[in-house]
Amino acid sequence: MSKVFTITEGLENMGALRTGGQGSVYKGRRFGPIITAVKLLPTPVHTESKEDKNFRSFQNEVEKLKKVNEEPNPNIVKILNSGITESGSFPFIEMEYIEGPDLEELLKEPHDKIFTVKEVIKVADHLANALAHCHKVTVKHGDIKSNNVKLNMHTGNYVLLDFGLSAMSDEQRRTSIRHAGAIEFMAPEQSEGQMLFETDIYSYGVILYELLAGQVPFPLLDNGQKSRNDVLVGHLELPVPDLLALRKANMPESWSPEKAAHEMQVPGWLIALISKCLEKAPASRYSNGMELQYAIVHSSIADSASAATDVTGLSLMQKENDRLQNLLLHYQETQDGIPVRDAGVIVISKPVFYVLSAGVVFMIALLSYFLLFKEPVKPVKKEQPAKQNPAQGTTNQDEEDKGYSWDKNRDSFNDSGTTQTQPVQLKPVPQPAQDTTTMNLDTTLHF
């Protein structure tokens, strides 16, 4: 089928791009510079009649595929046309030609055997967007593998290609997968001919695993039937090998030790996502592309927020470290006899500091003595003053009004109100003025 032949009128066949049991992809050109990719399906349709079961199935599937392009998506190849070839009567699907390498080519020399974590997350995001778009319009791809995902060299987007298997009938799909399918990327249920939304999720997980580990979980050693059976058993029964151990073993020698160590720090959410995609039972995986995309978006946002928190924490730690270093420098300068003149700090000498400290201690001791040892004042009872003769005078009128006077003999308060002695007048003791011009006060302690 790889020979050059007529596809259809107005579409020039420029040769085969890829051939296989599930069909071949040819490079085509319409009038002018427009280059397309043409997928030929392996089952011929001898009559374009609805009575023909193969033709009817093909038409039904093509109608589904048209829904994919009703809303453009940068991560899905555009489907341009479909029909029956003039030579051989093979059904074909014409798609846009994506210029750039596919993932399978990017994992071979001269490229590294594994992808960086950053690039894997980019592939995960773009491919999940493609699956969410397809599943939203009820289209299952069914043939997701590394050579069906291309890097568009003009846009930098990863693009999902080749919807040929989607256009096959269930019977054609089962036969094609059993004998010529990319068995390394097949979900366990595909061995029975099933194709579910969860089937695409499983194949998606195999791709991410391959990009991180440098190989698929269950590699095909050769094209023999035994090797194919071994891979099938692996998908159905065997646990998935340790991804990080394989990543470490396949680490490129050209990477520096620092980069290698950094690239071993695969986010936990990405490991968990791949593990869920590779569950044996379809019900244990993400149910469709929309749920998968939701998980990726929210996990990556949470991871970014955590990283931002870590950066903030490091910044605060750095500030605290700088503060402690400044304090240490201040202490060392003081010990060495170097005066430290910080802004807003008044420096005093050590003798003055000791005098002030002694004065503070003395005042505290004196206050403690009065509080602890002085006899407490008895409460004063206020009584109604006795009536007096006006001849007694009004010298102590104020004291009588208050109900008490000073008794010199008793050295205490007398509440009789009859004593005529004038109260003792207390005069403030003048304090010598202090010269503060020669003293700088500082709240900073220097030793």
Q: Domain extents for the chain?
A: 99-309
Kindly calculate the radius of gyration of the chain based on its CA atoms and give it in whole angstroms. Answer: 46
The model's pLDDT over 86-123, given as tens digits with 9 standing for 90+, comes to: 777 888 888 899 999 999 999 999 999 999 999 999 99
The model's pLDDT over 378-428, given as tens digits with 9 standing for 90+, comes to: 555 555 555 455 444 444 444 444 444 444 444 444 444 444 545 555 555
Question: pTM, whole model, 2 decimals?
Answer: 0.65
Percent of the chain's residues with pLDDT above 70: 64
Helix (H, G, I), strand (E, B) or coil at 250: coil
pLDDT at 180 over 80: no
The pLDDT score that the predictor gives to residue 196 is 94
The pLDDT score that the predictor gives to residue 447 is 43
Q: How confident is residue 158, by pLDDT bands cut at 50, 70 and 90?
A: very high
CA–CA separation, 381 vs 200, rounded Å? 98
The model's pLDDT over 116-156, given as tens digits with 9 standing for 90+, comes to: 999 999 999 999 999 999 999 999 998 899 999 999 999 99
Q: In what order do the strands lie in the sheet with 35-40?
A: 12-18, 24-29, 35-40, 91-96, 79-84
Residues 6+ apart with CB under 8 A from 42: 1, 21, 22, 23, 90, 176
Whole-number Cα distances in Å, 446 to 208, 308, 346? 64, 41, 11
CATH number assigned to the domain covering 99-309: 1.10.510.10
The pLDDT score that the predictor gives to residue 93 is 86
For 423, other C-beta atoms within 10 Å of its C-beta total: 12
Strands (E), 235-301: none
The model's pLDDT over 299-334, given as tens digits with 9 standing for 90+, comes to: 877 666 555 445 445 555 566 556 556 655 655 555
Q: How confident is residue 1, by pLDDT bands cut at 50, 70 and 90?
A: very low
Across the range 350-374, mean pLDDT stands at: 72
Whole-number Cα distances in Å, 5 to 21, 82, 308? 18, 17, 58
Spatial contact of 90 and 48, defined as CB atoms under 8 Å apart: no
